[in-house]
Amino acid sequence: MILVNTETVPGRTVQEVRGLVQGNTVRAKHVGRDLMAGFKNIVGGELKGYTELLTEARQEAVSRMIAQAQGLGANAVVNVRFSTSSVAAGAAELYAYGTAVVVA
């Protein structure tokens, strides 16, 4: 599966548009990660627990988007975008979306 954040795949021709595809996941903070993040906020630096959490969430959302594109018979997804939002106290959604296409 080819994934790009542009309207076309360089060197390829879009033959057919299969439609919008998306994948999402909602993740909650682990209380241990939350406590460590609070301490890290005091001294500064990267919040590695949150970085790992968002990396895993992004991978899962993309995997779900790819599965949906494959179900439509696409071999590429163009205009891939990501969005995040807070859905509850301590929980966030990561959303990946794009347009499933068939490229030659």
User: Mean pLDDT, to the nearest integer, of 87-100?
Assistant: 88
Which single residue is written with the structure tokens 């959490």?
Answer: 53
User: Mean pLDDT, to the nearest integer, of 29-57?
Assistant: 68
What domains, with CATH codes, occur in the chain?
Answer: 2-28+59-103 (3.30.110.70)
Within a 13 Å sphere around the CA of 54, how many CA atoms are in the beta-carbon half?
12
pLDDT at 35: 54
pLDDT at 54: 85
User: Mean pLDDT, to the nearest integer, of 23-51?
Assistant: 69
Are 48 and 59 in contact by the 8 Å Cβ rule? The answer is no
Are 21 and 65 in contact by the 8 Å Cβ rule? The answer is yes
| For residue 34, pLDDT beyond 60 | no
pLDDT at 43: 64
